[in-house]
Structure 1
Amino acid sequence: MGKKLNQTEFSVLDLAIIREGYDARDAFDRSQDLAIRVEGLGYSRFWLAEHHNMANVGSSATALLIGHVAAKTKTIRVGSGGIMLPNHAPLMVAEQFGTLATLYPNRIDLGLGRAPGTDQLTARALRRDRLETVEEFPNDLEELQMYLSDENIDGKVRAIPGEGLEIPIYLLGSSMSSAVLAARKGLPYAFASHFAPAQFLDAISYYKENFQPSEYLAEPYVISCVNVIAADEEAKAHSLATSFYQMALGIVRRKSYPLKKPVESMNGLWSQEEAATINQMMACSFVGSASSVKHDLVKFQELVQVDEIMICSHIYDHEDRLRSYEIAASCFS
């Protein structure tokens, strides 16, 4: 008997999206308010994602924003979805998340990605003279785990704070590579199905079948991130979704613009080829009223059988976004 939707954990992925006509402070305040609201709705965790050099994404200093959110919430887990480890020295990540875990005990998650979260020019600016690449990710992961372990108490280099703290590590991915590593290391695995669904089913199937129990996790644990845009009326939800489509269009065109207001129609804004590409990218997206979104989420969970569904909602108006998360939460009851 498979896991049903009402037996599935649900959570939030946020990017502190910057709206057209507003600044990053507005994005930070909305993220904080969203976290407060979803905590009361039963969401399990609230993750922020590291991106750089993008005009519509404010979550570049991810650890700082995690603290901003954790400071105003009480019970919801807060973390990274993720920290792009090749951009950082593992020691610095251990110290930053050790500090967060000390300030907010038993509430901090450390999700790790192997991509730069930006273009190559910006990646070089971030890394300066560091030579680490995605190929070095397994070594960086082991170094980070060492700094966070009790066994490093006699090490010549120690993470203070951080050492000995039980900070859950999650591996993030959008391809088979991270699935292989997560299975081998016995770590929970989060797949970016909200924008890269092509290898989703193959990756989580491999992870589940090849998972090796570890000191961190006895059984495989899969998180799938999806897009949800819900409203009280079907037509309104599809109208709100045009902000999301415009943002996705920027990704296809390799441009970054602040999140735009909804439009009456995407006709004339994208070509047929661009629309097809975006529809393929956003295959794990659910737009509509409460009944239609719940119906689609139930079918999705019947197919994928994940342990947790993480919801990302790019909606221009803050109240509409809050309402979307409220409707989404009701789908899991």
Structure 2
Amino acid sequence: MTAYSLLDLVPIVQGGTAGQALANAADLARHAETLGFTRYWVAEHHGMEGIASAATAVVIAHVGAATSTIRIGAGGIMLPNHSPLQVAEQFGTLDALFPGRVDLGLGRAPGSDQRVSAAIRRGMGGDGSEFPQDVVELQSYFADDGRTGIRATPGAGADVKLWILGSSLFGAQLAAALGLPYAFASHFAPGLLDEAGDVYRRNFRPSAVLEKPHLMLGFNVFGAATDDEAEYLASSQQQAFVAIRTGKGIQLPPPVRGYRETLGGQGNAMLEQVLSASAIGGPAKVREQLAAFLARTGADELILTSAMFDHDARRKSLTIAAEAMQSL
């Protein structure tokens, strides 16, 4: 059976609050734990009114306190927004609180637009070009090998599992060179999925932490009792994607029946592309689409995401996804 995990952007729904979104995150993580999910990740985004995970390490601590066995972590921390020392201290603290459970996925994108990015990085001057060096520096803090001349406290000697994230070939090449696991963002940027996976596997160099490549792929699941109900529930995420692509980020809206029929050809083509790594349907269809994706990619692990307006419907979608994965 292929391992399966959960990526939660901690969505704030229209009419809801950040507090409600964070309470839902803890509940969803507990639910995922009972369903056999390997890990629960949240992602760093800034200046987005529909996402409550900007203070990513704080959210991870909140979820860690609500769970007991599932791995918890970031998918990911946008490293150019931070100094490696600060990240080592934050995730060293998480490891001290939740030993042996913490993952740290690292990305080089800002997780925001240019204006918000400038506010975050005030005085830092980082643009992502130093990402490889920053990753190596971060590894040094956790290894406590003295190369930086500074000891991260907490952080030195922490058992934090590093991942490289990406949606292009850059991350695939870096993960392969460093011998780290690689997670590809096919759940929203599937264009280079096959090429990135090939580059990572073909160029992988075994390391002290990983003997062979481990490729995790993002995948959307919108499961429900029937195919029609799943299409309806998926329309919330579809509306949000259309809004983002037109420069109008929004809180997660309620679903709309027949939403795709209201879009023109250009809007539907965009959704077909951006959500091509998705399963939308009842239990049988979800299983079929997950099986087809795994057969095509040979992924070692899937990280599933399922943004829905109704929290109970989202819990049910994850149950359908877990049952499908367990049957493959």
TM-score over 0.5 for the pair: yes
- Cα distance, 1:36 vs. partner? 0.4
Measured after TM superposition, the shift of residue 121 of structure 1 is: 1.2
Aligned partner letter, 2:46: H
Q: CA deviation at 1:317?
A: 0.4
Query: Which 4+ stretches in 1 moved above 4 angstroms?
Result: none
Aligned counterparts, 1:110-259, within 5 A? 110-152=104-146, 156-259=149-252
Instruction: Structure 2: give runs of 5+ residues left out of the alignment.
Output: none
Determine helix, strand or coil for the equivalent of 2:280.
strand
Q: Measure the CA separation in 2 of the matches of 1:118 and 1:272.
A: 28
1:327 and 1:164 map into 2 onto residues whose CA distance is 39
Aligned mate of 2:301, from 282, 299, 308? 308
Letter in 2 for 1:50: E
**Cα deviation code 1:282-333 (max 9, x no counterpart):** 1101100110110111111011001100100011000000000000000012
Distance 1:174 1:267, change over 3 A: closer
Residue matched to 1:284? 277
RMSD of equivalent CA atoms: 1.1
Match of 1:105 in 2: 99
C-alpha distance in 1 between matches for 2:269 and 2:244: 14
Deviations 1:7-52 (A, max 9, x none): 1000100011000000100100001000001100100000000000
Identity among equivalent positions (%) equals 44
Query: Structure 1, unaligned stretches of length 5 or more?
Result: 1-6
Which of 292, 315, 320 is equivalent to 2:313?
Answer: 320
CA distance, structure 1, for counterparts of residue 211 and residue 31 of structure 2 = 32
Please state whether the residue corresponding to 1:280 is helix, strand or coil.
Answer: helix
What's the secondary structure of 2:66's corresponding residue?
coil
Equivalence map 1:27-46=2 (5 Å): 27-46=21-40
Is contact 2:102-2:159 (8 Å) kept? no
DSSP 3-state at the match of 2:54: coil
TM-score (norm 1): 0.96
Q: Is the 8 A contact 1:249 1:270 kept in 2?
A: no
Aligned equivalents of 1:262 and 1:192: distance in 2? 24
What is the CA–CA distance in structure 1 between the aligned matches of 2:205 and 2:11, rounded to whole Å?
Answer: 37
